[in-house]
Structures are given as structure tokens and as C-alpha cells.
């Protein structure tokens, strides 16, 4: 019976119900979109950063992060790759080996200490976007397959080099021998400092490190599956050090967390303002019905029943409007996740330049606004409901 009374009361004054419902609907959509834009933009930044070079997971030898050395390499990277592909299956996007060492770069009279990173161009292209950052086309093709070297822009500017120039690279091999060879500059990496890139096959020969890699880069199709994939790979290689991108790129992760803390505080304030808007509308809608509630009491409605009906009205209305709000916000969040909102001027988040705000659709940006709108509607209706139930009948019937 109370459900029918509550529904009848909602449809009695359609204009008042519509205005109150639109406030709830708008508050839900704005809250959901705000959360979606924050989560989507940060997710996009993280995904772009990890796919740029570091990957989502890395396989290393125990202790390599603390003391990187060619003597602490991973043997038989092809076998590791096959096992990871079987374990992760469709979750895996790509897996690429890397070989790293220190060295000296000699150009004329200039000698600089550099980090050497050797990559397999074919596997790296499937795994990260590292090759897309190289100016000068696809390196290590044809005659460049063995003696080609890619330098960061910082090294090119310091040594005043151009594409096609020759230089000498020196390094100590895994067996302790000192190696040196002449290389030709075939590409310039747009980002990074004091790093040179070699073809994997040439680097293994140059560093006397055949059939080894210092780390394996794993990229997943979905960043959100990182924790699940991490557990699988750790079970597969209990004697190896398997680390997620949060550990490998600790500085970037800390910068993102710091930015997010400030954004979440702002988002909390926004949710509070959205709740306040609902509270104000619901409060006014109930207070103007004081005489109506007085008549219900005269007709025999008990105080507890009156309070229940008033609160039930707002709960039914908020649930209905949240349902319509979820459909609208879901569509908008999906649209924004694909197209984004362009910035008038690029901004920097976590060290990355951002040109668009991107949305996202997940359980949190659909559930939290629902809780805020429904709970705030029910809570604010309780106060005037108690007032209406306890107000003297003469005073209640006299209000307009």
C-alpha cells in the first residue's frame, strides 16, 4: 500500500517531480562524467607511457635491478618467450628481449659514457612503441642491419652528429673482454639521455653475450589485467624477478599518484557539491507540502507511516533518475573514451604532454554517483519528514 501511495504522490504534481528528478539526473551525470574523465585520462597516460618503452611487466634475474650486469642475464630468452606466450595466451600483446650494458661513445676527440640497449626490431615493434620514437625511418634494414646505431637527441646535439656519421663504441663483454667497433648513425631517438640503441644480433656478438637478455618486456592487450598476468608469470618463473611497471618506472608512478591525490580531492569536493544540489532541491520540494502531510495525519496516517512514505518517495524517484542517468552517462563516457575532449592548450601530467581528456566506463564511476544521489536524497528527506510528522496539526494545516 505504501508503495502505491508513494508512486501516486510522485505523479500528483508532475512538474515538481520532474524538476526534482532532473536535478538528481543531472547530478548523477556530472559526477559520473567527472570521475570517468579523471580515470580515463590517467589510464590513457599510463597506458601510453608503458607501451612507449617499459611495458606492463618485466622479467629479470634476481638482483638485476639493484646491480645490473651482463653476468646477471637471463639465459635462453626464446624459451622464456615461448613459456610466457603459453601462460598468458590471448592476454599477451607482445614480448621482446633487451640486452643492456654500459659503454663509451667516441666521436673525434669527444668521449661520453652511455647506456647501451640492444633490441630485436621485429619483436619490439609488436611489444612497444619504442621504434616509433626514432627519427629517420625504420632502422636496421638492409645494409644497416649490423653496424647501425641509434642515438638519443641529447647525444646528437652534444656531439654535433648527423645521420650517416661514423663513430666508435667501446664496452666490456660478459666474458670480461674489451670490445670496440665502428657504427653508423642511422636514427635519432626523440626522448632519453645518454643512451644508444643497437640491433640485438650485433649487440650479442659485440658484448660476447650470445643467447642471453638482461630483461624481457611484456605488454598486455589490457593494462587492467596487469595484476592477474603478474601472478601467472611469477608462478611460471619462481626463480626470476618479475616486476610490474609501477616498480620499473617508480618515479613516474609516484608522480602519477601525487597528481591523482590532488585530483581526487577536487573530485570529492565536486561530489559534495552535487549532493548539496540534490539536498537543496529535495528539501524545498518536501517543505512546500507541509499542509498535504497535515491532511494525511488528520485522515489517520501514523507518524512512522508518514515518514516512511516521504522517504520512500525520494528513494523511488532517485532510483529511477539514477537509472536514466546511468544510461546517459554510460553513453557519454564511452563516447569520450574514444574521441576525448581536446584541450585548447596541451597540459603535462606525470611528465607526459596531454592534448585530450579521455573518459572511461567502469563500475566506480557508475556506482559512486548512484550512492551519492540516492543516499543524499533519502537522508535529506528524513529531516523534513520528521518535522512534518511532529508539527502540530493546526500549524501544519495552516501552512501554504
Residue ranges of domains in the chain: 2-50+254-398, 62-239
233 has pLDDT over 60: yes
Q: Cell triple for residue 332?
A: 557519454
pLDDT of residue 231: 93
pLDDT single digits (tens) 337-381: 888 888 777 766 545 666 777 888 888 888 888 888 888 888 877
Q: What is the DSSP letter of 89?
A: G
CA distance 256 to 238: 30
Across the chain, mean pLDDT equals 81
Extended beta strands in the chain, E state: 57-60, 74-75, 92-107, 110-119, 134-135, 148-152, 166-172, 178-189, 195-199, 212-213, 215-220, 241-244, 341-349, 352-357
| CB-CB neighbours of 270 under 10 Å | 15
Banded model confidence at residue 213, pLDDT cuts 50, 70, 90: very high
Say what percent of the chain tops pLDDT 90: 20
217 has pLDDT over 90: yes
Banded model confidence at residue 331, pLDDT cuts 50, 70, 90: very high
Rounded mean pLDDT, 244-248: 91
CA distance 124 to 158: 27
φ, ψ for residue 208, nearest 5 deg:
50, 45
- pTM, two decimal places: 0.75
Rounded mean pLDDT, 213-227: 91
Name the residue among 87, 37, 38, 33 with its Cα closest to residue 59: 87
pLDDT of residue 130: 86
Amino acid at each position: 500500500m505504501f508503495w502505491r501511495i508513494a508512486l501516486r504522490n510522485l505523479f500528483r504534481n508532475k512538474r515538481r517531480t520532474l524538476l526534482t528528478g532532473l536535478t538528481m539526473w543531472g547530478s548523477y551525470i556530472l559526477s559520473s562524467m567527472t570521475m570517468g574523465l579523471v580515470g580515463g585520462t590517467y589510464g590513457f597516460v599510463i597506458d601510453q607511457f608503458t607501451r612507449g618503452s617499459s611495458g606492463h611487466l618485466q622479467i629479470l634475474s634476481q638482483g638485476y635491478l639493484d646491480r645490473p650486469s651482463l653476468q646477471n642475464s637471463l639465459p635462453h630468452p626464446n624459451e622464456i618467450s615461448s613459456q610466457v606466450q603459453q601462460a598468458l595466451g590471448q592476454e599477451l600483446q607482445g614480448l621482446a628481449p633487451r640486452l643492456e650494458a654500459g659503454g663509451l661513445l667516441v666521436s673525434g676527440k669527444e668521449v661520453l659514457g652511455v647506456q647501451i640497449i640492444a633490441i630485436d626490431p621485429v619483436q619490439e615493434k609488436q611489444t612497444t612503441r619504442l621504434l616509433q620514437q626514432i627519427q629517420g625511418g625504420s632502422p636496421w634494414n638492409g645494409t644497416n642491419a649490423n653496424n647501425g646505431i641509434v642515438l638519443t637527441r641529447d647525444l646528437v646535439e652534444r656531439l654535433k652528429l648527423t645521420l650517416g656519421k661514423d663513430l666508435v663504441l667501446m664496452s666490456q663483454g660478459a666474458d670480461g673482454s674489451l670490445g670496440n667497433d665502428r657504427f653508423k648513425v642511422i636514427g635519432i631517438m626523440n626522448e632519453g639521455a645518454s643512451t644508444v640503441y643497437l640491433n640485438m644480433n650485433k649487440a650479442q656478438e659485440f658484448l660476447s653475450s650470445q643467447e642471453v637478455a638482461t630483461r624481457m618486456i611484456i605488454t598486455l592487450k589490457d593494462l587492467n589485467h596487469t595484476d592477474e598476468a603478474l601472478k601467472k608469470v611469477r608462478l611460471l618463473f619462481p626463480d626470476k624477478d618479475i616486476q610490474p611497471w609501477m616498480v620499473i618506472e617508480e618515479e613516474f608512478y609516484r608522480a602519477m599518484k601525487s597528481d591523482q591525490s590532488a585530483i581526487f580531492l577536487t573530485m570529492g569536493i565536486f561530489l559534495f557539491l552535487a549532493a548539496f544540489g540534490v539536498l537543496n532541491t529535495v528539501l524545498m520540494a518536501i517543505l512546500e507540502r507541509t499542509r498535504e502531510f497535515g491532511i494525511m495525519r488528520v485522515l489517520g496516517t501514523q507518524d512512522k507511516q508518514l515518514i516512511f512514505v516521504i522517504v520512500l518517495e525520494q528513494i523511488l524517484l532517485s532510483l529511477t533518475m539514477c537509472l536514466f542517468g546511468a544510461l546517459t552517462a554510460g553513453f557519454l563516457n564511452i563516447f569520450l573514451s574514444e574521441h576525448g575532449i581536446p584541450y585548447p592548450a596541451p597540459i603535462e601530467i606525470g611528465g607526459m604532454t596531454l592534448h585530450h581528456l579521455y573518459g572511461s566506463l567502469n563500475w566506480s564511476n557508475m556506482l559512486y554517483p548512484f550512492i551519492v544521489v540516492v543516499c543524499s536524497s533519502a537522508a535529506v528527506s528524513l529531516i523534513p519528514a520528521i518535522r512534518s510528522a511532529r508539527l502540530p496539526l493546526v500549524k501544519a494545516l495552516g501552512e501554504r
